[in-house]
Amino acid sequence: MAPEPLLRVHNLTKRFGQLVAVNNVSLEIAPGEIVGLIGPNGAGKTTLFNSIAGLYPPDAGRVTFRGCDTTGMLAHKMCKLGMSRTFQVVKAFDDLTVEEAVRVGAYNRHSEKEVAAKVEEVIAFCELTEIRHHRCGDLGLAPLRRVELARAVATEPVLLLLDEAGAGLTATELSGLMAIIRRLNQERGVTLCVVEHVMQLVMGICQRIIVLDAGEIIAEGSPAEISKNPNVIEAYLGKRAVL
Amino acid sequence: MEHLAQSLINGALMGCIYALIALGLSIIFGVMNVVNFAHGEFVMIAMYGTFTIGTMLIMDAVATPIITIPLLFIFGALTYYILIDRTLRERYVTQIAVTVGLAVLLRAVAQMIWQARPRSLPFSSIQGNLLLGDINILTSRLIAALVSIVAITAIYFFLAKTWPGRAIRAASDDLDAASLVGVNYRSIYALSFGLGTALTALAGGLLMSFQQVDPTMGLRFGLLSWCVLALAGLGSIPGLLISGVIVGAAESLVITYWDPRARLLVVYLIFILVLWLRPRGLFGRK
Amino acid sequence: MERRLRTFRLLPLLAGLAFALIIPLLLGRNQYAMVLATTVLVYSVLATAWNIIGGMAGQLDLAAFAYLGLGAFTSGTLLLRWNVTPWIGMFAGGLVAAAFAALIGYPLFRFGIKEVWYALSSSALVEVLRIAFLMWSNIGGPVERYIPFHAFSLYHMRFASYIPYYYIVLALLIAALAASYRISRSRLGYYLLALGQNEDAAEALGVNAQRCKLQALMIYAFLAGMTGAVYACIYGYIHPSFFSAAQSTEIAILGIVGGMGLVYGPLTAAILLVSLKEFMRANLGSTLESLYLAVYAVILILIALFRPQGIAPWIRNTFARGLARLQGGKDGARAASARP
C-alpha cells in the first residue's frame, strides 16, 4: 500500500489576463522525496510554485497538503502546517544578524525556552557558524542563500519548497548547498520540491523530475529518463536538437 | 433645493483648485515615488509669495503667478537637488523625515517673516457676483476654477505630447528603461519636482484672490491634496479633477448642512475609507 | 561581537537612571528647568513606546497624540465627573486608547495598509479625533475643561511643583523601556523586527503579520494613553488641542532620527533634540519668535541627510571607535567601525 502523498495538486490552473500560465496541472509528492520541477523559461514553474505556496490563489483546481485543503491559504498558516519556502530573489532581513534571522524561523515551533538550542542546531547544520554574527545585509550571495535556507529549515517544515536556490552559485558553493539538502532529506526526512534551472543541482539530488513547458507537464521520471526524453530536449533546445 | 445646488457648485469650484494642488503632488509622488510631506507648506509659501509681491508691486493676485511660477519652479528644483536627491537611495522614512523637516522650516520661516496673523490682499479685479437664477456664484471662484481646469488640461497635454512630458511619464513607469533611451533621471526628477511645485504657485495666486493665508494653512492643504490624490489614484489626470470636485463638493455640503467645523472631518474620513477600501483609488492604474 | 540592532548595555543605562533620579535634587528650585525636564521625559515615553510599532515593526505611525489625547480625556473626564483618581484613570485611559487602536488597527492591517498610506491615515486620524472632540460638547468642546488645583494631592495627582510629575513620568519611561526591552527579546519582538525588514519573508516563516502588528499597536497605544492621563494632570486641563498632528509627527521623527529599532534610539533623540529645542525656545524666542523652530528643523534635516541610520548608532559607533583606538591603535579602530 503506497503511503499517502504529502502534497497533491489537483487540476491547477492559473491565468494572468489572457495568458494561461499553468494549465490544468496535477501532481503528487510523496513523503521523503526530493522532486525537481524544471522547464524552459516561461514554462510556468514559478507560477505553479507560487500557487502551491499560496502567494496567489489559483483560478481553478485545488492543493491538498497533509490531507488539508491549502488552496490559497495564507503563508504563515501554511508554515504552521509544515510547508515552508524560500524565495527566488532573496528577501533578506538586512539589519538582522544571521543568528537573529534564523531565530525568527525557529520560533515557529519552539517556545522561548527551547528556541536558543534550536538556533544553535540549525546554525551548525547549515554551516553558518563563522558568519553567525554578521549582518545579513553585508553578506554575499552564496552565504545569503544559505541563510535563506537556514531560516526555512529552522521552521521545521515537513515539506520545503526551494525556488531557484542554486542560481548564481559557483560550483563549490553549489556542491555545498547540495550536501546540506541531501542531509536535510536523509537525516531529517524533510520532503523537498525544488524549482531549478541549474541542471547540476537537479540531476544531482532529485529522485524524480517533473518537466513543465507552456504551463503543462510534458514529462515525469528519474533524472536518467528525463535527460533522454525527446520531448524534454525539444522543449529546451527546439525540434532540430532532437534530430 | 437652491441651497443644494448653490452648495454643490461652490464646492465643485473649490474642488478644481484642490485638484490643481493635488496634480502637483501627483507629479512628485507618481513620478518619483517621493513622499513630499511639505507639499501643503509649498502652497502656503506660494500664497505668502503672492501676498508679498502683490503688496510690494501693487499687483492683482491673479497676475502674480507670472512671477511666482518661475520662482517656485526654481525653488522646487533646488529642493530636489539639495534635499531629495540624496535620500533616493535611503529608506522612505528618511525622505519623510527630510520633508517633514522642510515643512517645519517653511512654517517657522513664514511665522518669522509674516507673523501668525492672517494676511490677505486687497480687493482683486476678479471679485464680484454672478447670478444664475437663484444661485449666487462668486466670480473669483469661477475664474479660479476655470484657470485651474485650463492648467490641468495643459499639463495633461504636456505629459502626453511633449518630449519632456513623455520623459517624465517614462521615468515614472520604468526608470532603468527610460535611462536606456537617454533620459537623465536627475534632470527629469528635478523637472518633475519643479513642475509640481510651480503648480502650487498658480493655485496660491488663485486662492489669494479670495482667501487669507496664515502659517497653519500648510497642514490643511497638505492633507487635502493627499486626500484628493488617494481618491483619484495614480495615473489619471481627469480622475484627479473629478476627485477634486468630489472632495470640494463634500466639504461644501458638510458646511451647508451639518457644521462648518466638521468640513475637514468628513474629508479626512473619506480619505481613511478610501485608503482602506479602495487603495488604488477610483481611477488609479497601479 | 555585539549584536547590531538591539544592543542594550546595562551599565550606561543604570548610570543614566541614577542621573535621572537625582536631577530634581540638582535643579528642583529652578521651575523652568523642571518643566523642561518633564517635557523631555514625556516625549521620551512616547518615542520609546512608538518604537515598538514604528521602529521594530516598521509601521510609520503618526498618531501618538491621538492615543495620548484619548487617555487624557478618559482620565480627565473620570476625574471631573466622578472624582475617580487619575491613578486608576491612567489605566482606564490606557485601555481606552488600546481599544481604539484595536478598532482602527484591525481594518488597517487587514487591508494591508502600509508605509506612506499608513502614515497618512494615522495623521488624518489625529485630526479626525481633534475635530470630533471639538464638536462633542458633552465631553470635549472648544473650551478648556480645567482640573481643580491642589497644592499637593496624591489622590488627584495635582501638585504645585513639577518634581512629583517628573518622577511619575520617569516611572512611565522606565515602564516603557522595560516593556520595549522585554518585547525585543521575545518572539513578538523578533517577529516585529522581521516584519519591519521584509514582510513577505516574515510571513513565509510563520509570522502572522496582522496579529503581531495589532499587538504592537495596542501596547504602544496603551503606554501613550497612560501618559495622556498624566499629561492632563500636568497641564491642569483637557482640550481637543491635545490631539495634535504636528506633535504626533514630531514623535515619529524623533524615532526615525534617533535610530529605529534600537530600544534606546528614540530615547536618545528625545533627550538630545527636545532639550535642544526647548533650550533654544527660551534663549532665541525673544528675538524672532519662530527662529528656534527654524534652527531645529534645519538640524533635523541635516541629521536625516547625513546620518540616516540615526543618532544613537552614530554615537555608539563613535564611542566604539574611540575606545578601540585607545586600546589597539589604528587597526582596532578600523575593525570596530564596521558600517552600521
Q: How many CB atoms lie within 10 A of CB A113?
A: 7
Whether pLDDT at A193 is above 90 = yes
Residue A58, pLDDT score: 85
Q: What subunits make at least 3 CB pairs under 8 angstroms with C?
A: A, B
One-letter amino acid of C153: S
Q: Are B51 and B120 within 8 A, CB to CB? A: yes
**Adjacency order of strands within the sheet including A19-29:** A19-29, A7-16, A60-65, A68-69
Nearest to C304 among B94, B219, B264 (CB): B94
Contacts of B11 (CB under 8 A, 6+ apart): B245, B248, B249, B250, B251, B252, B253
Residues A155-187: tens digit of each pLDDT: 999 999 999 888 888 888 888 899 999 999 999
Q: Find out whether A32 and A185 touch, Cβ atoms under 8 Å.
A: yes
Q: Give the nearest partner residue to C124 out of B94, B272, B279, using CB atoms.
A: B272
Mean pLDDT confidence for C248-276: 89
Chain C residue with CA closest to B107: the answer is: C294
How far the first Cα of chain B sits from its last, in Å, is 39
Give the mutation candidate from B226, B251, B275 for the C interface (greatest C CB count, under 10 A).
B275
Record: contact C208-A96, CB cut-off 8 A: no
Q: Which three cell numbers stand for residue C328?
A: 589597539
Cell of A156: 521545521
Q: pLDDT, tens digit, for every residue of C222-232?
A: 999 999 999 99
DSSP code string of C154-222: TTTTEESSSHHHHHHHHHHHHHHHHHHHHHHTSHHHHHHHHHHH-HHHHHHTT--HHHHHHHHHHHHHH
Average pLDDT over chain C, rounded to whole? 87
pLDDT at residue A22, as a whole number: 87
Rg, Å, chain B Cα set? 18
Q: Which residues of C touch A104 (CB under 8 A)?
A: 190-191, 193-194, 202, 205, 207
Q: Are B90 and C256 in contact (CB under 8 A)?
A: no
Q: Do C300 and B276 touch (CB under 8 A)?
A: no
Cell of B3: 441651497
* Cα first-last separation, chain A: 42
Residue C261 contacts A, CB cutoff 8 Å? yes
Cell readout for B174 is: 520604468
**Do residues A180 and A34 make contact, with C-beta atoms less than 8 angstroms apart?**
no
Q: A207, exposed or middle or buried, with CB in 10 Å at 0-12, 13-18, 19+?
A: middle
Position with higher pLDDT, C204 vs C17: C204
pLDDT band at C339 (very low <50, low <70, confident <90, very high): very low
Q: Which cell numbers hold the place of A224?
A: 536518467
Do A and C share at least 3 CB pairs under 8 Å?
yes
Domain boundaries, chain C: 10-308
Measuring CA to CA, how many Å separate C92 from each of B280, C46, C83, C89, C248? 38, 18, 14, 5, 21
Segments making up each domain of chain A, as ranges? 1-82+159-167+190-243, 87-156
CB contact under 8 A, A105 and C201: no
Q: Is the model's pLDDT at C93 over the cut of 80?
A: yes
Who contacts C285 (Cβ-Cβ below 8 Å, separation ≥6)? Answer: C291, C292
pLDDT confidence of A2, banded at 50, 70, 90? low
Say if the Cβ atoms of C5 and A96 lie within 8 Å: yes
Sign of CA dihedral C192, B34, C264, C329: positive
Largest CA distance in chain C: 69
- How far apart CA B42 and CA B250 sit, in angstroms, is 24
Fold classification of C10-308 (topology level): ABC transporter involved in vitamin B12 uptake, BtuC (1.10.3470)
With CB atoms and an 8 Å threshold, state whether C4 touches A135.
Answer: yes
Query: What residues have CB less than 8 Å from A200, skipping those under 6 apart?
Result: A166, A171, A174
**Which residues 64-123 of chain C have a CB within 8 Å of chain A?**
none
Strands C237-238 and C158-159 come out as: unpaired
pLDDT tens, B50-105? 888 888 888 777 788 888 899 999 999 999 998 888 888 788 888 888 999 999 99
Chain C residues whose CB is inside 8 A of the A138 CB are 339
Rounded distance between C-alpha atoms, residue C120 and residue B250, angstroms: 20
Q: Which residues does chain C have within 8 Å of residue B87's beta carbon, measured at their own beta carbons?
A: 304-305, 308
Q: What ipTM did this prediction achieve? A: 0.89
Cα–Cα distance measured from residue B41 to residue B32, given in angstroms and rounded to the nearest whole number:
19
Please name the member of B86, B259, B275 whose beta carbon is closest to the beta carbon of C305. Answer: B86
Query: In which band, very low, low, confident or very high, does the pLDDT at A200 lie, cut at 50, 70 and 90?
Result: confident
Identify which of A75, A93, A112 has the shortest CB distance to residue C194. Answer: A93
C263: helix, coil or strand? coil
Nearest CA in chain A to C205: A105
Cell of C83: 472624582
Find the closest chain B residue to C60 by CA distance. Answer: B93
Chains A and B touch (3+ CB pairs under 8 A): no
Torsion angles phi and psi, residue A106, rounded to 5: -65, -30
Q: What is the pLDDT of residue C282?
A: 78
Residues of chain A in contact with residue C198, where contact means CB-CB under 8 angstroms, are: 91-94
For the domain spanning A1-82+159-167+190-243, the CATH number is 3.40.50.300
- Cell numbers describing residue B218: 500648510
Question: All 3 cell numbers of residue B89?
Answer: 537611495
pLDDT along chain B (286 residues), means of 10: 82 93 90 86 92 84 85 91 84 87 92 85 75 79 89 88 80 71 79 91 89 87 90 87 93 89 88 83 72
Check CB contact under 8 Å for C193 and A112: no
User: How confident is the model at residue A1, as a pLDDT?
Assistant: 46
Position A239 scores a pLDDT of 59
CA distance B187 to C301: 23
Q: Other C-beta atoms within 10 Å of C124: how many?
A: 26
Q: How confident is the model at residue A242 (pLDDT cuts 50, 70, 90)?
A: low
Across the interface, of B97, B265, B271, the residue whose CB is closest to C132 is: B265
Coil vs helix vs strand at A218: strand
Q: Please classify residue A107 by burial: count the beta carbons closer than 10 Å to its beta carbon, then call 0-12 exposed, 13-18 middle and 19+ buried.
A: buried
Q: Which of residues 16-55 of C touch A (CB under 8 A)?
A: none
Grid cell 518585547 is found at C183
Find the closest chain B residue to C117 by CA distance: B275
Which residue of C3, C4, C205 is in closest CB contact with A79?
C205
Instruction: State in Å, rounded, how far the first CA of chain C is from the last one.
Output: 13
Nearest CA in chain A to C183: A112
Does B279 contact C117 at a Cβ distance shorter than 8 Å?
yes
CB proximity B97 to C under 8 Å: yes
Task: Give the helix ranges, DSSP H, for chain C.
Answer: 10-27, 31-50, 64-82, 86-110, 115-135, 163-184, 187-197, 199-204, 209-235, 245-258, 265-269, 275-284, 291-306, 311-336
CB C135 within 8 A of CB B262: yes
pLDDT at B47: 92
Beta partners for residue A161, in sequence order:
A85, A193
Chain B residues 64-93 with a CB less than 8 Å from chain C: 83, 86-87, 90-93
A85, A91, A100, A104: best to mutate for the C interface, most C CBs within 10 A? A104
Task: Please name the residues in contact with B254: beta carbons below 8 A apart, sequence gap of 6 or more.
Answer: B260, B262, B263, B265, B266
Chain A window 65-94: which residues touch C at a Cβ cutoff of 8 Å? Answer: 74-76, 79-80, 84-85, 87, 91-94
Nearest alpha carbon to residue A142 among A164, A124, A167, A119: A167
In this prediction the pTM is 0.89
Inter-chain residue contact C260 with B112, CB threshold 8 Å: no
What is the nearest CA distance from B115 to chain C, expressed in angstroms? 9
Span A104-119, average pLDDT: 92
Contact (CB<8Å) C3/A97: yes
The C-alpha atoms of residue C308 and residue B118 are separated, in whole angstroms, by 37
Mutating which of B35, B92, B104 best tests the C interface, going by the most C Cβ atoms within 10 A? B104
Distance CA(A158)–CA(A6), nearest Å, equals 9
Element (H, E) at B252: helix B237-257
CA distance C226 to C46: 10
Nearest CA in chain B to C309: B94
Q: How far is B109 from chain C, CA to nearest CA, in Å? A: 6
Q: Report the C-alpha dihedral over residues C264, C269, C275, C280, rounded to 10 degrees.
A: 170
pLDDT at residue A199 greater than cutoff 50: yes
Using left for φ > 0, alpha for ψ between -120 and 50, and beta otherwise, residue C144 falls in beta
In chain C, what residues touch B37 (CB-CB under 8 Å)? Answer: 249
Q: Dihedrals φ, ψ of A61, to 5°?
A: 100, 175
**Cβ atoms of A230 and A242 closer than 8 Å:** yes
- The per-residue pLDDT for range C94-140, each reduced to its tens digit, is 999 999 999 999 988 988 887 888 998 899 999 999 999 999 988 88
Sign of CA dihedral B221, C125, B237, B169: positive
- The CA dihedral of B215, B220, B224, B225, to the nearest 10 degrees, is 20
Measured between alpha carbons, how far is B281 from B286 in angstroms, rounded to an integer?
Answer: 9
Residue C327 or B83, more confident: B83
Rounded to 5 degrees, φ, ψ at A28 are: -135, 150
Please state, in angstroms and rounded to a whole number, the distance separating the CA atoms of residues C87 and B27.
Answer: 51
DSSP of B39-68: HHHHHHHHHHHHHHHHHHTT--GGGTHHHH
Helices (H), B174-216: 175-180, 185-208
pLDDT score of C338: 45
